[in-house]
Structure 1
Amino acid sequence: MKKIIGSTVVSQLQIPQKARIQVTSNLTELPPVLSWFEHFNHYPINQETWMQCQLALAEGFTNAVRHAHRGQPPTLPIEIEVSLSDKALEIRIWDCGPAFDFETMLKNLPPLKEGDAEGGRGLPLLKKISSRLSYDRYQDDRNASPEGFRNCLLIVKNYGNHL
């Protein structure tokens, strides 16, 4: 079930833009999420940067479903927020999973190599694609999380030099 939160239809040249969508924790939601994300596929983002952002969103969403929400009810929400400016695209993926040490995990990643197997590539890909990557825990003021906290994966892709 998709729920668009505070999304506004804007012309292609209006910057900044910001929109949110909330979906259930199910991999079948990925195609609708990517379809929704298409609203951001326009100038000033070039095609290579766009494809990287699309891949980052897919990886981040998939990680939230498979890892953060493992063993949780599929009705647990995942909220995605996208902000577009003339210099960067920011993707925030909010999950309700348990806490983990993201910085240590990033430091201990093996290098990403061509031809690597499918599994275990999410974080190395996100690190390679993003200009800035973080994962932080916040008090859940929306009461969506059973533990009272939510996590936010922030993926920032700078492209200001492409203008």
Structure 2
Amino acid sequence: MKLTKPDVLIHDSILQLASDLDAISTIVEWFEQFNHTPVTHQLWLEAQTAVIEGFTNAVRHAHCYLNPETPVDINVQISEELFHVCIWDQGDIFDFELALENFHREVSDRAFNPLVHESHWGCIFLLKLRKEYGWTISYTRESGDRNCLSLKKPLIN
């Protein structure tokens, strides 16, 4: 029987922002704290871009009909083994898996033109992270009226 040590958090940081795209500069500044070992620069860039895309999707899509003060919460947890980001919104329920499946079919078509799908670049990017970079990505309804975009990537191969 193999005993495993508990996964101790190196970082556990939460940022709450209003639903305003101007807050992206705050996210970029806040995210700098995670750019160090054991996180590689490549992983940090992938995660930072995913967080910006996730926040942008929450503001543009999930919160488009809500008060601009409706908060978006971002939580980053880093352990020796895992980089985990959660982005919570208060929008309607959304079938993320179906959207990714549809986009996968579209981007696989030779006639696909990404410029026609500008409003969906976030989903296309998240699909790429999942398929080509080994991220585990899900979007689920949490208790109450919140949705959670969860992005996970192991730090150890």
The TM-score normalised by the length of structure 2 is: 0.81
Q: Which residue of 2 aligns with 1:79?
A: 73
Q: Which residue of 1 aligns with 2:114?
A: 116
Unaligned runs of 5+ in 1: 1-13, 141-148
Q: 2-side partners of 1:25 and 1:43: how far apart?
A: 31
Q: How many corresponding residue pairs?
A: 140
Q: Which residue of 1 aligns with 2:17?
A: 23
Match of 1:43 among 37, 43, 47: 37
Alpha-carbon distance, 1:15 to partner? 4.7
Tell me, what secondary structure is at the counterpart of 2:114?
coil
Q: 1-side partners of 2:79 and 2:107: how far apart?
A: 31
Match of 1:133 among 119, 126, 137: 137
Q: 1-side partners of 2:113 and 2:46: how far apart?
A: 18
Please tell me whether residue 151 in structure 1 is matched to residue 147 in structure 2: yes
Indicate the larger mover: 116-125 or 66-75: 116-125
Counterparts of 1:64-75 in structure 2, within 5 Å, are: 64-75=58-69
Q: 2-side partners of 1:116 and 1:106: how far apart?
A: 15
Q: 1-side partners of 2:35 and 2:9: how far apart?
A: 13
The TM-score normalised by the length of structure 1 is: 0.78
Alpha-carbon distance, 1:16 to partner? 2.5
Alpha-carbon distance, 1:72 to partner? 1.2
Q: Which residue of 2 aligns with 1:7?
A: none
More helix by share: 2
Identity, in percent, stands at: 37
Alignment check: 8 A CA contact 1:15 1:84 kept: yes
Alpha-carbon distance, 1:124 to partner? 1.7
Q: Cα RMSD between the aligned structures?
A: 2.0
Alignment check: 8 A CA contact 2:77 2:83 kept: yes
Alpha-carbon distance, 1:136 to partner? 0.5
Alpha-carbon distance, 1:139 to partner? 2.0
Unaligned runs of 5+ in 2: 1-7
